[in-house]
Structure 1
Amino acid sequence: MNAPADTASSLSRIDGLAGARRHYRYFDYVMAGFVAILLLSNLIGASKLASWQGVTFGAGILFFPVSYVIGDVLTEVYGYANARRCVWAGFIALIFMAFMSFIVVAMPPADGWNGQAAYEMVFGSTWRIVLASLIGFWAGEFVNSFVLARMKLLTAGRHLWLRTIGSTVFGQAVDSAFFYPIAFLGIWTHEQVLTVMVTNWGMKVLWEAVLTPVTYAVVGWLKAREGVEVFDENLDFSPFAKAGPA
């Protein structure tokens, strides 16, 4: 599966530095969607252990992988430097969400309001889950973007499906390897942690594969409207680097 030849040939090839400095029509909207899905999936589904047809998994897996799909779109269409900006934006948003949740939950409830217990159950994530979410997301998303960008150079922009699935294999492995042990080791049994960690990793990769046609459609639509093909050549891939040459 490759991009249509007429679409690919109509795009101007630019390097990662030029891509980082370029103004895009839809970048802000994609970044907003990325951060929104990231926050909602971590807030609503991260700590629930669910089971379906005998398979145990974290409930957040139903929606969190969409943020990885958008992360792939960001790297593929806008380049690693812009994807790096989005990862940091999401990371800071997660920190603020955790801070706000801690303050609001800790505030004494008003007389006559009986929802404190339920509120704490929904929004009172432990420090371990918060820390696990931050570390897992930060490390996993940067690995995902790095692998995809490097694979794009190695494949000369061909085989998008291979890049998106391959980057997810590594990115989600790193995310899960950090998140579940940090969040639940000692709370769940070792067997539960390992089972959920491996199962969720496999399901996230499967989700990426299933959503490949959607990824192709979104990437093709955005590239056609942005008019460029970004290859991250001569770019510093450090998470802490400013957009510039290696």
Structure 2
Amino acid sequence: MRSRQNERVQRIPVETPGGLYSRWFVAITALFVTTLIASNIVAVKIVDVWGLYVPAGTVTVFPLSYIFGDVLTEVYGYRRARLVIWLGFACNLLAVMAFTATQYLPAAPFWDAQAAYERILGYTPRLLAASFLAYLVGEFANAAVLSRLKIWTHGRLLWVRTIGSTLVGQGLDSLVFVTVAFIGTMAGADLVRTIVTAWLVKSAYEAVATPFTYLVVNALKRAEGIDTYDYGVSLSPFRLD
């Protein structure tokens, strides 16, 4: 039975007959990258959510990247999700390089917003390292767990798979980011509280968005005519086949 499924999955086209990615794949990829870059910009604002203080990106756009990541893995498989994760990393790096280069360009004499620009878009090396590392660890963990859960559940219980993979991915993301960015600058208890708060808020976002995830996944599977199972696919983040 597995060999027949594996053979069927390997024949699934993830590209159009002309060799180009489908418009739906490109659209989801664009949304994924956009939410990723936007989340890093809005994260400089700390917001009050029912008495919990978290970066704005935590409750606005960043969790959407995990939802779009779930859609990519569920519909197109781990290999395509892996490609998009690296693409998102490259685009985010390019955006940061552009922000930084612009920061050091000489300002016009009449322009008095340099301090405001640096406050919003002037990333410190430590925060950059924390953000990039947490992104890679969290996104790859999310995609890998979802990929394997799909095989183990025979494609059933999508809500369990998306929420379960998000709990792992967002947990690792929060752990890595807060630890790398803030260890040594706050008490241990505050560090743990910040990690747990960010994890729970982002995971709750995924749970609330589950009906939306079902809607998009089912629509894409019908439109593309595919439903990918990653039999025999390596989960190494460093393979781009």
TM-score, normalised on structure 1? 0.88
Task: Give distance in 2, aligned partners of 1:20 and 1:48.
Answer: 43
1:118 is aligned to 116
1:22 is aligned to 15
Task: Give distance in 1, aligned partners of 2:165 and 2:8.
Answer: 22
In structure 2, the CA distance between the partners of 1:52 and 1:242, relative to structure 1 (3 Å rule), is: closer
2:48 is aligned to 51
2:64 is aligned to 66
1:211 is aligned to 209
Shift, 1:85, TM fit: 0.7
Task: Give distance in 1, aligned partners of 2:86 and 2:124.
Answer: 22
Flag structure 1 segments of 5+ consecutive residues without an equivalent: 1-12
Q: Which amino acid aligns with 1:161?
A: W
Task: Give distance in 1, aligned partners of 2:58 and 2:82.
Answer: 23
Shift, 1:19, TM fit: 4.8
Shift, 1:206, TM fit: 0.8
What do you get for the CA RMSD once the two structures are aligned?
1.6
1:181-222 per-residue CA deviation (whole Å, 9 max, x = no partner) reads 111223344333321211010111111110000000000111
Task: Give distance in 2, aligned partners of 1:200 and 1:19.
Answer: 38
1:223 is aligned to 221
Q: Do the aligned residues in 2 keep the contact of 1:20 with 1:81 (CA within 8 Å)?
A: no
2:84 is aligned to 86
Q: Do the aligned residues in 1 keep the contact of 2:46 with 2:53 (CA within 8 Å)?
A: yes
Runs of 4+ in 1 over 4 A off after TM superposition: 17-21
RCO (CA 8 Å, sep 6+): is it higher in 1 or 2? 1
Flag structure 2 segments of 5+ consecutive residues without an equivalent: 1-6, 17-21
TM-score, normalised on structure 2? 0.90
Task: Give distance in 2, aligned partners of 1:44 and 1:212.
Answer: 24
In structure 2, the CA distance between the partners of 1:60 and 1:52, relative to structure 1 (3 Å rule), is: same
Q: Do the aligned residues in 1 keep the contact of 2:71 with 2:216 (CA within 8 Å)?
A: yes
Aligned residues: 229
Q: Which amino acid aligns with 1:22?
A: E
Moved more, 94-103 or 227-236: 94-103
